[in-house]
A and B are shown apart, each in its own frame.
Chain A
């Protein structure tokens, strides 16, 4: 119990003093996850619009598959990316293994189903009359689609934030394909797991609190936006 208390006070000291190691790891975590989140959003937004507005056989099945992938284990994606990018793998020649780039790729694959699924349900929540009214007022199909996304903006933003949350908090994938290389691919989650196993509970706690703090800021910002 005292260990936890001491850990907590030291952790807060580390954060208040802007400890360079903590800041560096937090910054990298943020950068990698924000990149994956943006890329995933860039793919999911148009893809979601396309799926929502088109009619094809198997649409429902596709949506069920997407929803099933919400809970795909991160280590499974890690394994997939590992097989693809390792030396012997089909695109091993790119030499991306154990780089932030491959971590981003893995996270994009990991969070697209979640983001896409939530965007689809956000779009379903918009009155059908919106797109139709837009069409009747001279919108092209693309313009009507953009308007519909805009109408669902709060739910769409929530989808993107959920994607970010999943990316920033996962550890299995980052460990497997990033390798937890100090100063290069070490992120908050991989560092927490390493420091804990090394017995440096204070540092692990400081990193954990930082992670929570990031989550808090993101959520406060989201609430602010939704209340406008």
Chain B
């Protein structure tokens, strides 16, 4: 039986629905990530699951028990869960006392509290800070205290709402290390929200893509990443090239799809005449100045229409008769001497293309 289950769960603020018909199942020991753009309703869903809000519609089951509105049981059920909020609020007391709070509220013995708090602080590498007032901590340190404070109660379900949002990369990797440890060692059931697609991929076993209050796809990270089932999901997971086409030839798994009069080859088993979308991740496209490239069967000459720097990378839009977006390193862009208006060959392998059925 699923540890956590929702049936047609919905929430509205005023007249506006911010969550619609959410159907989820999370098994014991699962690590489930909710990904979605800002404002999609991730926090709202987590707050509903943690019984901090009551839903406008639908039901929530924990261990098969309907807990949607069960007044008196809510405290007992809430005590089996813990939440690390998107913007954690620490209490105006020492780090140690902050972490001890949950245990004190559960009336644990002081010796047990001491041991558990120290272990939790050790786990998040905050043991040296235990006497500091928690209000004086930095963002990353606060986040780690919030995680320790949630973990110390040994929750059956741990909710993490954007555990690494607004942190620098070093703090992010520290926190992800802690989370990976919890996932590996303690087998805690985790439901986390993130708008960092790659974080979901690194940590979660299953991902739900929440866009505009609706779960659009529930799958393993690799499925979500490679086979988005809708344009919205595809865009969100970073498949920037979504080309509508029709299968025009087929030869032993090698399929030729016509896109705006151009022929793209890919590996899939769609039949002749089927309407499909061809998905190409921008980082799978290489740009060259000559046509000669070994294994890439798809090579198109195009003109650069736009170049946008993205840290060490450059996003390059190329018009090959159909638009393509490529992501290459700044260094190779310089070596190739790419400029807006210049001509370039866009190459991608048959295996880099994902062909999926057209949604609408």
Interface positions of A (Cβ within 8 A of B): 127, 129-130, 132-140, 143, 147, 150-151
**Are B52 and A138 within 8 A (Cβ)?**
no
| Cα–Cα, bound, A147→B97 (Å) | 12
Interface positions of B (Cβ within 8 A of A): 50, 52, 75, 78-79, 82-83, 85, 87-89, 91-93, 101-102, 105-106, 149-150, 153
- 15 other contacts beyond A147-B101, A150-B92, with CB at 8 A cut-off? A127-B89, A129-B89, A130-B91, A133-B91, A136-B78, A136-B83, A137-B83, A137-B101, A137-B105, A137-B150, A137-B153, A138-B105, A138-B106, A139-B102, A143-B105
- Residues of A close to B102: CB separation below 8 A: 137-139
| In the complex, residue of chain B having the shortest beta-carbon distance to the beta carbon of A139 | B105
21 chain-A/chain-B pairs, Cβ below 8 angstroms: A127-B89, A130-B91, A132-B52, A132-B89, A133-B85, A133-B91, A134-B91, A136-B82, A137-B83, A137-B101, A137-B105, A137-B153, A138-B75, A138-B78, A138-B82, A138-B102, A138-B106, A138-B153, A139-B105, A147-B91, A147-B101
| Cα–Cα, bound, A135→B105 (Å) | 10
| Cα–Cα, bound, A151→B101 (Å) | 13
| Cα–Cα, bound, A150→B105 (Å) | 15
| Cα–Cα, bound, A44→B92 (Å) | 23
| Cα–Cα, bound, A139→B50 (Å) | 13
| In the complex, residue of chain B having the shortest beta-carbon distance to the beta carbon of A152 | B92
- Residues of A close to B93: CB separation below 8 A: 150
| Cα–Cα, bound, A136→B85 (Å) | 9
- Residues of A close to B150: CB separation below 8 A: 137
- Residues of B close to A147: CB separation below 8 A: 91, 101
**Known A-B contacts A127-B89, A130-B89; A140 and B82 likewise in contact (beta carbons under 8 Å):** no
| Cα–Cα, bound, A52→B79 (Å) | 24
**Known A-B contacts A129-B85, A147-B101; A135 and B91 likewise in contact (beta carbons under 8 Å):** no
- Residues of A close to B89: CB separation below 8 A: 127, 129-130, 132-133
| Cα–Cα, bound, A199→B171 (Å) | 75
Write the nearest CB–CB distance from A145 to chain B, whole angstroms: 12
| In the complex, residue of chain B having the shortest beta-carbon distance to the beta carbon of A137 | B102
- Residues of B close to A137: CB separation below 8 A: 82-83, 101-102, 105, 149-150, 153
